[in-house]
Amino acid sequence: MPFKTLASEEKSGGQSPESRVSFDFGSPNAYLAEIAIPGIEKRTGVKFEYVPVLLGGIYKATNNMSPFESLRGIKNKPEYQALETQRFIRRHNITKFTPIRSFRSTR
């Protein structure tokens, strides 16, 4: 289902616009996004449909690797990721979040 714009909402008889979110259950970023999405829906009127995925399986099927693996050893990357996570948490007024330090591979 393609993303519907507000203009297409008028043509579709007033139905709310929709967008799909690929939701990886093992991702702390997906968890943070899931907390922020209700506020986005309220502000914009866009309704999100959650599609469960396992990114590890997608990476394996596409002969790819996760950013955690591909960016390993890049100077300042972990610090920058932590900074961006804190910015997101502040922007969306998230009060409870404990980052997971290690992940079990989904491959």
Radius of gyration of the chain (CA): 17
The answer to the question of residue 106 being in a domain is no
Looking at residue 107, its pLDDT comes to 45
Would the pTM of this model clear 0.85, i.e. be above it? no
Say if 7 falls within a structural domain.
no
Report H helices in 5-74. Answer: 6-11, 28-44, 55-61, 67-70
Which burial class, exposed, middle or buried, applies to 21 when counting CB atoms under 10 A from its CB (0-12, 13-18, 19+)?
A: middle
**40 assigned to some structural domain:** yes
User: Is 6 a member of any domain?
Assistant: no
Residue 98: the pLDDT is 66
Domain assignment of residue 10, yes or no? no
Answer whether residue 73 is part of any domain: yes
Instruction: Tally Cβ neighbours within 10 Å of residue 94.
Output: 14
Write out the residue range of the structural domain in which residue 66 sits: 17-91
Q: Is residue 85 part of a domain?
A: yes
Instruction: Flag whether 99 is in a domain.
Output: no
Tell me how many domains the chain contains: 1
What are the mean pLDDT values of the chain's consecutive 10-residue runs (107 residues total)?
A: 44 69 84 89 92 89 86 85 90 77 48
